[in-house]
Structure 1
Amino acid sequence: MSFKSPADIANSACATATGKCSLRISQMLFLGFLAGAYIGFGGFLYTVVTQDLSQYVGLGLSKLVGGASFTVGLMLVIIAGGELFTGNCLIPIGALAGCVTLKEILKNWVIVYFANLIGSLFLAYLIYRTGLASDAVGSNALKIASGKMSLPFEIAFFSGILCNWLVVLAVWMAMAAEDIISKIFAIFFPIMAFVASGFEHSIANMYFMALGILLKNNEGLVSQAGLSSHSLDALSVGGFLNNIIPVTLGNIIGGVVFVALFYYLAYKDKIKA
């Protein structure tokens, strides 16, 4: 076959876990920063594409096209190289197989998550400074951010589970691919599905919500977005945490349980630690 079988992917995932946990702290920081920015690029493209598309093609197709545009973020992470916290929710398969320790995984997660945050915030600031997030694009960015920051804990949590189930499946499938084009297609469909479905991704949300906070003092954009005072109040550090905590917890469960754990249990007899 020109691609790896699921059992072979399980072995590759263990080898990948070993490699990721062996990275120097400086490597985790640099690659994590890049991954946070790459996901932000996908987020900005999504915002531009969906700013007015629904009035021409309908809401459903607008979400589909927006989801397709967002896939560029994970393509950049996997093909160009980056350390993404949500994707790294696959590496516990290495601990289950005895390739790495839980301590090594937690070290990777904490450093990469912090680096993803910095990269996301930095890109949001750059986008803000370009002035490109103005008019319809800026009002769309405000609506996206306020919607995320107003989500109840339970909805954000379960949306986070569903999101990272698909994101880590995209990483899993990309490991099966033996060439660039195959990797692109392996990434494209699961990521398009999670975005079009409206699920919640912690690293993408860091970018979306940071840009929303930066834009909230633009009265013209606020008026154009039609935000209520309650929605505007949600655009704050408190609103950021209100979303990012449950979404992060959900992302961990979605990736670790439904991909890493389940595939380990399915193929543990074929994994060579």
Structure 2
Amino acid sequence: MQHRNVIVKGIFAGILIGLAGMIYLSAPAKIIGAIFFSFAIIVILFQGLYLFTSKVGYVLPFSKDYMKVIFKTILGNIVGLAIVAGLIHLTFHAAIQNAKALVEAKLSYPWYASLSLSILCGAVMYIICDLFHDFKTDFVKVVVCMFGIVIFLMSGFEHSIANIFYFFLAKSFTLKTLLYLIIMMIGNGIGAVGLNYLNQVIKKGKE
């Protein structure tokens, strides 16, 4: 039941990211899309939903059970993203063409550039999640989430789960797409886990 709950919460999170991706692709300006995209992360964190980039930073110390949670989270996220993308494909929404242009640009980067941008995104996502749990005031939590999301989107950092939605929407199902998604997920993990490790070292130093 617990693992099924993880998948359900992962699907819910995936749907929210899909909707956020739609808003981002449809917004008249990048900054507006970034602000509205933050709504999805805010809901995910307040509701305790399972998003890969909000959970991967806490894989250390290593646990087989937690790794199962991560894989089930990814599965749930993908299902949620596929649902939204599938519904959009039943329309003639302009976001589909915008997604194709965005995907073409993302796949034109060298792999190491995508890795670097993914690491930075993972680091920002860890900061958002960690501060969210540290702060007690809901208003401050919302502000932290909003600014954090705006930072990584305006900077062009690579959020692997959001990118899966863009790839689905653009119908980009190639080996190169798969390899880049794996690179982005690894990068998100490196950034989040690395910053979490440094944070733990700092906390131990204060004891």
Contact 2:97 2:170 in 1 (8 A): no
Amino acid at match of 1:82: L
Query: What are the ranges of 5 or more consecutive residues in structure 1 without an aligned counterpart?
Result: 1-22, 54-61, 96-100, 214-234
Question: Following TM superposition, by how much is the alpha carbon of 1:125 offset from its aligned partner in structure 2, in angstroms?
Answer: 0.9
Question: Following TM superposition, by how much is the alpha carbon of 1:114 offset from its aligned partner in structure 2, in angstroms?
Answer: 1.4
How does the TM-score come out when normalised to structure 2?
A: 0.92
| 2:144 aligned with 1:154 | no
Contact 2:7 2:72 in 1 (8 A): yes
Question: Following TM superposition, by how much is the alpha carbon of 1:237 offset from its aligned partner in structure 2, in angstroms?
Answer: 2.8
CA separation in 1, counterparts of 2:112 and 2:194? 18
CA separation in 2, counterparts of 1:125 and 1:72? 22
Query: Which of residues 168, 185, 188 is equivalent to 1:210?
Result: 168
Contact 2:57 2:189 in 1 (8 A): no
Question: Following TM superposition, by how much is the alpha carbon of 1:268 offset from its aligned partner in structure 2, in angstroms?
Answer: 2.6
CA separation in 2, counterparts of 1:35 and 1:205? 14
**Residue equivalent to 2:41:** 74
Question: Following TM superposition, by how much is the alpha carbon of 1:132 offset from its aligned partner in structure 2, in angstroms?
Answer: 5.4
**Residue equivalent to 1:249:** 186
**Residue equivalent to 2:204:** 268
Amino acid at match of 1:71: S
Question: Following TM superposition, by how much is the alpha carbon of 1:145 offset from its aligned partner in structure 2, in angstroms?
Answer: 2.1
Question: Following TM superposition, by how much is the alpha carbon of 1:72 offset from its aligned partner in structure 2, in angstroms?
Answer: 1.4
**Residue equivalent to 1:36:** 14
Q: Deviations over 1:231-266 (max 9, x none)?
A: xxxx333242132011011000000002x1011111
Question: Following TM superposition, by how much is the alpha carbon of 1:269 offset from its aligned partner in structure 2, in angstroms?
Answer: 6.0
Amino acid at match of 1:103: K
Q: Deviations over 1:16-63 (max 9, x none)?
A: xxxxxxx811111100111111111111110110xxx3xxxxxxxx33
CA separation in 1, counterparts of 2:114 and 2:174? 16
Change (3 A) 1:132 1:77: farther
How does the TM-score come out when normalised to structure 1?
A: 0.71
1:59-208 map, 5 Å = 62-93=29-60, 95=61, 101-129=62-90, 131=91, 133-134=93-94, 137-208=95-166
Amino acid at match of 2:71: V
Across the aligned residues of Structure 1 and Structure 2, the Cα RMSD in angstroms comes to: 1.9
Contact 1:177 1:186 in 2 (8 A): no
CA separation in 2, counterparts of 1:181 and 1:126? 33
* Number of equivalences: 207
Change (3 A) 1:146 1:70: same
Amino acid at match of 1:48: S
Q: Which runs of 4+ in 1 moved over 4 A?
A: none
CA separation in 2, counterparts of 1:76 and 1:203? 16
SS where residue 86 of structure 1 aligns? helix
